[in-house]
Amino acid sequence: MATHLGTSPFQETEDQQALRALARDVAQRELLPWARHWDETEAFPQRSFEALGKSDLLGITIDAAYGGAGFGDIESAIVLEELGRVDVSSAILAQLIFNGPPRAIQHLGSEAMKQKWLPMAAAGEALFCIGISETEAGSAVNHMRAKLSEDGDGFRLNAYKNYVTGGHKSRCCLVWCRFPGSEPGSTKGIGAVIVDLESPGVVIAGTHVKMGLRGTSEAEMAFDDVRIERDDVLLWGDPANSESFKTLIAHINHERCGNAAMCVGAAQGALEYVVGYMNERKIGNKTLADLQGLQWKIADMATQLEGARLLLLRAVHMAGEGGTPPALETAMAKTAANLAAKFVCDEAIQLLGGYGFSREYPIERVYRDIRGLCIGAGTVEVQKNFVGKNVLDGAKPASHGWR
């Protein structure tokens, strides 16, 4: 009987394949040769940002009306996977544009706000950042203190945001804050404003010195009585309910899928590197690839990675055109991708032996980079809290039946 091989339900369209080829080409030519440099020097990868802008990759998720290509989460994941495969520090810059403030402005902002910011984002003329976390409000975001107060026909923002990726190089920040009447400890009345970082009162208090993602630093940012116009309000926080907070949290699912895509790409790059190495490296008259015990490691690495990739594909396909990836499937994808990347990179270091531990070989850098992705955009533990609670409450994640 003839065996029928079906196609993957996630088969890429011709346009998506072309986008992947473009992203891979730009990554290989423009990002890869500099990846070690950004890590060693901790210099901001401005060159990568410009290369991504010139190749028209930065605008892919922005509507055509504002100069972009109007793609969604699938295409965002394709590009972030390819960029993450060679340099996560540079990929994060694209993540900030694809799944950061510009995406939120596109979905939630007024027409005036879109006209002001989206063409700039699509053209790669400015970087955008997100200010949610505070020193005492990371996972427990309900403890945030950032506060908006009435000031005539507008507002004043007072906030201290911690760990803002690219904040020191950005022109625009999406800031989550309490609206008038909102009480600390509650999610009621939390909304968001868009801040022009050239405004008086914005201060970059410092940048973090980190283990990985050393090119794209995280900033501490003070907002001292910064004037906010009514037009700068992205989402009004009503102190009587948590509706705006829920909308903002749901929107983070774009960022979580982007985070997972970078992890899948980084792990893919590490796996490919170690496969090449094992086919070359001789132990006596055998290569490492000949040793069955090590073949099993490769099998485990490839299987975990593929599982994470499939979960990610499911989440981004479920977003549909112009939608948002669903929360449960996204939390599973992010968890699986974070853990797969950690496992694959750790095993890859082991398989390279002493060279895996050397800074002259790329794997230890990738390992340090993806470590930060297991914390940013909601930690693995917070994702697991969400998944566990939902499954215990009877939630059933969609399987292929959703199609």
**Residue 341 CB, nearest distance to ligand FAD (Å)?**
13
Enumerate the β-bridge partners of residue 233.
193
Report if residue 84 touches ligand FAD, rule: CB under 6 A.
no
Among 130, 177, 294, 337, binds ligand FAD (CB under 6 A): 130
Q: Among residues 60 and 164, whose Cβ is nearest to ligand FAD?
A: 164
Stretch that binds ligand FAD, among 11-19, 52-60, 132-140, 333-341 (CB under 6 A): 132-140
- Number of Cβ within 10 Å of residue 307's Cβ equals 14
Q: Which is nearer to ligand FAD, 312 or 373 (CB)?
A: 373
Interface with ligand FAD (CB under 6 A), residue from 375, 390, 397, 398: 375
**Helices and strands per DSSP (H, E), number in the chain:** 12, 10
Q: At CA 108, angle to CA 81 and CA 335, rounded to 5?
A: 35
Selected from 385, 390, 397, 398, the binder of ligand FAD by CB under 6 A is: 385
Residue 212 DSSP label: S
Q: Which two tokens stand for residue 289?
A: 């690839």
Number of residues binding to ligand FAD, judged by CB under 6 A: 20
User: What element of type H or E holds 167?
Assistant: none
203: which 2 tokens?
């201060």
Using CB under 6 A, pick the residue from 228, 376, 386, 387 that binds ligand FAD.
376
CA atoms within a 13 Å half-sphere pointing along the CA-CB vector of 144: 29
Is 390 a binding residue for ligand FAD by CB under 6 A? The answer is no
Per rule CB under 6 A, is residue 131 in the interface with ligand FAD?
A: yes
> Is position 185 an interface residue for ligand FAD (rule: CB under 6 A)?
no
What are 159's strand-pairing partners?
223
The number of angstroms, rounded, from the C-alpha of 73 to the middle of its chain's C-alpha atoms is: 11
Return the range that interacts with ligand FAD (CB under 6 A); candidates 111-119, 230-238, 371-379, 388-396.
Answer: 371-379
Q: How far apart are the first and last CA of the chain?
A: 29
Does 133 bind ligand FAD (CB under 6 A)? Our answer is: yes
What's the token pair of residue 175? 């800031």
Q: Which of 233, 326, 372, 387 binds ligand FAD (CB under 6 A)?
A: 372
Region near ligand FAD per CB under 6 A, out of 68-76, 283-291, 335-343, 374-382? 374-382
Distance CA 241, CA 185 (A): 13
**Closest distance between ligand FAD and the C-beta of residue 373, in Å?**
7
Question: How many Å apart are CA 97 and CA 68, to the nearest integer?
Answer: 11
Which range in 4-12, 14-22, 28-36, 159-167 contacts ligand FAD by CB under 6 A? 159-167
Per the document, the length of the chain is 403
Amino acid at 67: G
67, 70, 119, 138: which one binds ligand FAD (CB under 6 A): 138
**Environment class of 12 (CB within 10 Å of its CB; exposed 0-12, middle 13-18, buried 19+):** middle
Does 312 engage in binding with ligand FAD (CB under 6 A)? no
379 binds ligand FAD (CB under 6 A): yes
Close Cβ partners of 111 (under 8 Å, ≥ 6 residues apart): none
Which residue ranges make up the site for ligand FAD (CB under 6 A)? 129-133, 138-140, 163-165, 213, 218, 372, 375-376, 379, 381-382, 385
